[in-house]
């Protein structure tokens, strides 16, 4: 198993290219199952998650080829059974169920795995498939869905923590080939949903309202091949912006979309960090001394839960008391105990973390528990004095393309080593 060895205390300076969005690429890759014609998807990040998804598509009968960020998928003949050994490794793989059901009218998919950050049930996905006319059975760790014909309907996807991104994606894909009109109420508004809708539209689907709480899909009989370029990863952009602020550096985020980052940039500005447009890029730097702020995670366009851990690392450096409230996942504070090993003063009270910031951080061995917690520990290690070893970085490789190489180009003293 590999780890990152970081010698902190060096401000980050320079330019970093933001990769394609993992959370957009995965459902778009799955959507290629909806047609027997070739699809070309550009700016696919080279991650363990995207490689796993390509293997899942191949296990279903599709041919895939990835060269320099361009993925070609040809799903001429596919089967509706997804193997447990592949699906269990990645929660996002559940998004193959919608296209399999839409095209084949049947699907048998293992219940998925992924990061341990609290319960992330798929009940809303299944509720939606049933509303479209599918019969659902859960047996032996698999979800089986079958329908003679899918039919348009009105779906409500609101859940305890708001709308579901993967659920919205799954049901958009299934409804694209359903008879009649489907209306998804309380749909997820995330940019990744909009990107999927753009790809489906390029394939011949009829979709309106993506990016709003109401999405309308008029089913068509057949979809065709298409080409598409994945949007830049807003979470990666946020992570590098926070890393620049934490190290008191200045980093240009090449290709980042300002319109996808407004909740983050608003909070960073309040905390003393400027994220400014520079042509087609963004530049992140401190504009003043760091200040304590309160943050609450919410569905898009609110502050993203996927940036909560990274923001906590920054606020551990800001004098004063910050309160971070997690409203999406109930167990997403597993990084707190590891940040404490670096000297952070953080207490958990129910869904909130009380961050008493301003104490200097010092290097120590830490253990990553999930993808975004790993990024938070890297940021803290970059800002800390001394040496930090972040173990179990396979989590990071799921969602950040060449993070260590990108950080080295910005001046960070970071290298990948085998865990002892």
**What CA–CA distances, in Å, run from 7 to 374, 380, 381, 412?**
16, 11, 7, 8
Instruction: Give residue 213's Cα distance to chain centre.
Output: 20
pLDDT tens for 43-61 read: 999 999 999 999 999 999 9
pLDDT at 17: 98
Which residues, given as ranges, of the chain have pLDDT below 50? 114-120
Beta partners for residue 13, in sequence order = 250
Overall CATH class of domain 22-224: alpha beta
Beta partners for residue 356, in sequence order = 321, 345
Q: Is 95 a catalytic residue?
A: no
- Predicted TM-score (pTM) of the model is 0.96
pLDDT at 115: 45
Q: Are 382 and 356 within 8 A, CB to CB?
A: no
Print burial letters for 310-341: b (CB count within 10 Å at least 16), e (below 16): bbbbbbbbbeeebebbbbbbeebbbbbebbeb
pLDDT tens for 206-257 read: 999 999 999 999 999 999 999 999 999 999 999 999 999 999 999 999 999 9
**Cα distance between residue 84 and residue 190, in whole Å:** 29
Domain boundaries defined on the chain: 2-18+232-418, 22-224
pLDDT at 142: 87
- What is the CATH number assigned to the segment(s) 2-18+232-418? 3.65.10.10
Beta partners for residue 154, in sequence order = 183
Fold equal for 2-18+232-418 and 22-224: yes
Closest CA to 44 of 23, 67, 62, 69: 69
CA quadruple 74, 76, 81, 85: dihedral sign: negative
Q: Looking at 39, 95, 115, 189, which residue is catalytic?
A: 115
**What CA–CA distances, in Å, run from 319 to 28, 115, 124, 355?**
42, 31, 42, 10
**Cα distance between residue 146 and residue 167, in whole Å:** 17
pLDDT at 242: 98
């Amino acid at each position: 198993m590999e780890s990152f060895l970081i010698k902190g205390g060096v401000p980050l300076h320079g330019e970093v290219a933001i990769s394609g969005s993992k959370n957009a690429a995965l459902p778009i890759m799955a959507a290629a199952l909806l047609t027997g014609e070739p699809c070309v998807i550009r700016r696919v990040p080279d991650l363990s998650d995207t490689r796993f998804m390509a293997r899942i598509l191949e296990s279903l009968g599709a041919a895939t080829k990835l060269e320099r960020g361009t993925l070609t998928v040809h799903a001429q003949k596919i089967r509706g059974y997804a193997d447990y050994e592949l699906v269990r490794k990645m929660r996002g793989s559940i998004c193959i169920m919608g296209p399999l059901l839409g095209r084949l009218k049947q699907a048998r998919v293992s219940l998925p795995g992924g990061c341990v950050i609290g319960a992330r049930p798929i009940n809303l996905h299944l509720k939606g498939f049933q509303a479209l006319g599918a019969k659902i059975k859960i047996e032996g760790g698999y979800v089986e869905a079958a329908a003679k014909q899918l039919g348009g309907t009105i779906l409500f996807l609101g859940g305890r923590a708001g709308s579901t991104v993967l659920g919205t994606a799954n049901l958009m894909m299934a409804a694209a080939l359903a008879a009649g009109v489907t209306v998804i109420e309380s749909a997820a508004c995330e940019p990744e949903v909009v990107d999927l809708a753009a790809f489906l539209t390029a394939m011949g689907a009829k979709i309106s309202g993506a990016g709003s709480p109401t999405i309308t899909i008029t089913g068509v009989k057949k979809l065709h091949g298409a080409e598409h370029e994945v949007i830049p990863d807003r979470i990666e952009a946020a992570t590098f912006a926070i890393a620049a602020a934490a190290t008191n550096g200045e980093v240009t985020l090449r290709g980042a979309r300002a319109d996808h980052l407004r909740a983050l940039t608003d909070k960073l500005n309040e905390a003393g960090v400027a994220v400014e447009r520079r042509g087609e890029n963004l530049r992140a730097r401190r504009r003043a001394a760091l200040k304590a702020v309160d943050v609450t995670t919410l569905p898009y366009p609110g502050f993203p839960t996927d940036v909560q851990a990274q923001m906590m690392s920054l606020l551990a450096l800001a004098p004063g008391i910050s309160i971070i409230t997690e409203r999406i996942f109930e167990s997403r504070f597993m990084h707190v105990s590891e940040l404490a090993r670096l000297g952070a003063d953080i207490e958990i009270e129910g869904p909130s973390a009380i961050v008493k910031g301003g104490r200097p951080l010092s290097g120590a061995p830490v253990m990553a528990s999930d993808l975004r917690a790993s990024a938070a520990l890297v940021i803290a290690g970059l800002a800390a004095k001394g040496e930090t070893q972040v173990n179990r970085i396979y989590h990071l490789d799921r969602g950040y393309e060449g993070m260590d190489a990108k950080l080295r180009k910005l001046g960070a003293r970071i290298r990948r080593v085998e865990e002892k």
